[in-house]
Structure 1
């Protein structure tokens, strides 16, 4: 039996890390890519503890570097097929829109949007020639609902949502499925190690300082309710093996209801609810 091959970006931590392990457990040969190979030791140790090390190739890829992406594609020739691409690499810029510089917005989009697009463009010709394949783009509830103090991250995920809708329709005739996974709040490092605060955030003289304090206070209270990233990894494996997957898969406590309510309620009502929750 020939194992299917999966490529996972952003494998050094968070969803990518646990998904590499779960895909390997499910029988995939996984190409785990990361920008910093010095972070590979923990993943290798975990894989070895499950006797899965031989099923995973760890490769350097910086999704903002076309050269590194091209080198990965060259290495893909040794595989019988490329069956799955999980575009997971990303980070979050924190800060209020007035204070986030345009360069910081650009940096956010370089990884979360243009990096995802570059990886997709590189792998699509392989899948198109196979006339089969699946691309899963890791989105977020932030790609469906706007939140204050993370407009850069939110707008990047909204962009991924629109790109994926168009891409799905373009790729269907070639037997390629495009899927969005939209997690809510999970215990990953995207808001810690994976967070890059704007130059304006944390300034006590900022007109948004009080708002930021209230938002962070609320987030701290909700930390105990953060989901287990393993649940998202298992969803990825499930979607990877589905015969005819949907475009969108929402996961996380209250996410489906929140998205439903946003679309059901008039904007002015929705806005009042959010303002009351965050700033009361």
Structure 2
């Protein structure tokens, strides 16, 4: 058994610090690095990519709506053409930064409200996929299983990576419970670790109403901006290892 473990990194901005990237990087196999649209200034992104390259952690472009003030967690009814250009810009910028540190962008993952929107929003999903295709690199796309995004990426011939969330509550329909609702974000490290193991080994997760949902994630996410993120990621990594699950990036060898 093998699974990727990813976290959101590079989300500090100027003197404002968010998360502990240095402590998280040794624990994960893939880093979803902000691209400056929801978080992350250029100097932060250079430091994050350099640290990820030094640790041998794969770098993903975490593309977002243009929403620094809202941390990318507000839906924006952007036109497909504008979203295509924004995503292409973000991938290109982060890839050049990553290459300057001896690495490169190895996959693409939407952030926040954009991630949730393209579960169902077909036009925005298609815009993201078109931008990935335009890079000419056939980058894998990381997203929620059953989403419009992964369907569009698969139809375009891209590799799709279904993702599971150890620290987020699921609805009975298999979507993420909105952060505005009670219980949407989990904070108990032991519980999160158990959920990660069940996802990776048994391909199941328990929804917020007790329903057991079938999932088959190739990558499990622990949010880097959550309080106690390092303790959670440590617990998840230890629990996966104890269960005989190898932690390895899906992008290794790509």
* TM-score (normalised: structure 2): 0.38
Larger Rg: 1
- Which structure shows the bigger proportion of residues in helix conformation? 1
Q: Highest relative contact order (Cα 8 Å, sep 6+), 1 or 2?
A: 2
